[in-house]
Amino acid sequence: MISVHSSPMGELGTRDTGGMSVYVREVARRLGEKGYAVDVFTRARHQAGVEVMRPFRNVRIIHLQAGPPGILPHLSLCRYLPEFFENIEHFRKAEGIRYDLMHGHYYLSGQIGRMARKRWHIPHVFMFHTLGALKNRLAGSEKEPHYRITVERHLATECDLILAGTEREKRHLIELYGALPRRIRVVPCGVDLERFRPSAGGKEESRARLGLSGAERLVLYVGRFDPIKGVDLLLAASARLRHDIPLRVVLVGGGGENAPEDRALHAMCSELSLEDSVTFAGRMANGKLPDYYRAADALVLPSHYESFGLVVLEALACGTPVIATRVGVVEDVVRNGMNGWVAPDNRPESLAEGMRRIFEQHDTQKATADSIRATVENYDWSLVASSLDSHYRMLLERCGAPDNDLMTSSMSGMKVNEGEPR
């Protein structure tokens, strides 16, 4: 697996460490449990040389250098991708490994995948995670560079197999990038049902552990504070309710007190007179995150765009209803009146109405934590890995067939390198 810019072991909630990092980590872990030998290559930001981590059975996270240390803007990182690939190649040869298949994540890694496919003659499985062209359609003034769009168009037509998290993403790949439907398979993301589960002691127990006791309605947001996430819209919606409903908004994530995006939201709270109603909890270690979901009366996802929306599954797995816009997996799992509310848009009025409805349903006890959790029991990461296993095997079985729909003609008569297969 290739995840150039985002380590699957990185701190969640930072600029380049979010849902994609969770996906790579959890999929690698579950594939390792199935007997796959998985090497995940990612860029080292600080240390020199090669750092190898072994977090799970049969899984190695390999940090390699590329360019100067530290965090680099994505476009700047592009110039060091050839160096990154050559360092992968040096590692591979030193270990005596022959890789059977490569699974890339995000367009930066996709460029590494193109190099490896040509050099190693193995199939390239790819997942976009977000689409630059779609972000440009929705993000207002902050545009993705033309270079990214061009690379993604090439990847959409060249990769041997594209994985999409939702049917919605599949449609966007076909519409925006001309991807062939027969090369796309929809495999949803997952959730750790052991970690994310309702509390035996109910919301009160979780709130007490977090120091959030009180009679207020607790609304939760989890994620980055990027403008495309719509956190400002959640604050505006909360301001509409504060005179009618005792409300506590808890924001988990952000870059810290001095980050520009955090300062902007603090300023907005002052403008809306919400200073006493909003808690900036900061970035959260995975061990504490489930308690925030369990403590909340609702998770709100006000995004303009999500490729999937892992937080939706995590909240539902903890028995907490979700109020969200029509993004990512929302329309596949959220059912009005059953486990949440799908807002028709992300205007503050619509989000506020969704919160009102959820609070009313909570008062009449129409849904229990267990019934809400039941709506995502088919999204366990082990089931995701089983689906990937099936697609990998199908691809590998067909990679030598000249008329194979999934493989391009250049892959027929595949060469095999010497060494230990992984």
Provide the CATH number for the domain around residue 92.
Answer: 3.40.50.2000
Structural domain tally of the chain? Answer: 2
- 150 with 206, same domain: the answer is no
Q: Which of 300, 230, 294, 298 is nearest to 265 (CA)?
A: 230
Residue 420: what pLDDT?
Answer: 44
| Shared domain check, 178 and 150 | yes
Closest CA to 324 of 363, 354, 295: 354
Instruction: Specify whether 150 is located in the same domain as 261.
Output: no
Are 235 and 122 members of one domain? no
| d(C-alpha 144, C-alpha 132), whole Å | 6
DSSP assignment letter at 320: -
The position carrying tokens 């109603």 is 277
Name the 3-class secondary structure at 3: coil
38: left (phi over 0), alpha (psi -120 to 50) or beta: beta
Beta bridge partners of 340: 322, 336
Q: Please report the pLDDT score of residue 6 as a whole number.
A: 85
Question: Does residue 234 sit in the same domain as residue 298?
Answer: yes
Instruction: Decide if 3 is inside a domain.
Output: no
| DSSP per position, 70-132 | S---HHHHHTTHHHHHHHHHHHHHHHTEE-S-EEEEHHHHHHHHHHHHHHH---EEEE-SS-H
CA distances to 12, 81, 194, 226 from 18, in Å: 5, 21, 20, 12
Domain-located, residue 14 = no
Do 81 and 208 belong to one domain? no
Let me know if residue 7 belongs to a domain.
no
Question: Is 1 part of a structural domain of the chain?
Answer: no
Please state whether beta strands 51-56 and 59-64 pair in parallel, antiparallel, or not at all (unpaired). antiparallel
Question: Does residue 309 share a domain with residue 231?
Answer: yes
Whether 159 and 185 have beta carbons less than 8 Å apart is answered as no
Q: Is residue 13 part of a domain?
A: no
171 and 207, same domain (yes or no): no
Phi, psi of 181, rounded to the nearest 5 degrees: -55, -35
Residue 4 lies in a domain: no
pLDDT of residue 12: 58
Q: Does residue 269 fall inside a structural domain?
A: yes
- Spell out the per-residue pLDDT of the chain, length 422, in tens: 999 998 888 665 555 557 899 999 999 999 999 999 999 999 998 777 789 999 999 999 999 999 888 888 889 999 999 999 999 999 999 999 999 999 999 999 999 999 999 999 999 999 999 999 999 988 665 789 999 999 999 999 999 999 999 999 999 999 999 999 999 999 999 999 999 999 988 899 999 999 997 789 999 999 989 899 999 999 999 999 988 999 999 999 988 778 899 999 999 999 999 999 999 999 886 678 999 999 999 999 999 999 999 999 999 999 999 999 999 999 999 999 899 999 999 899 999 999 999 998 876 666 799 999 999 999 999 999 999 999 999 999 987 643 344 333 333 333 333 344 45
271 and 234 within one domain: yes
Query: Residue 415 has what pLDDT?
Result: 34
223 and 356: one domain? yes
- Residue 336 shares a structural domain with residue 368: yes
Nearest to residue 108, comparing CAs of 69, 133, 80, 88? 80
Residue numbers of the domain that contains 402: 19-190+381-421
Query: What's residue 107's pLDDT?
Result: 96
pTM of the model: 0.90
Q: Indicate whether 6 belongs to any domain.
A: no
Residue 402 sits in the same domain as residue 266? no
Backbone angles phi, psi at 125, to 5 degrees: -95, 140
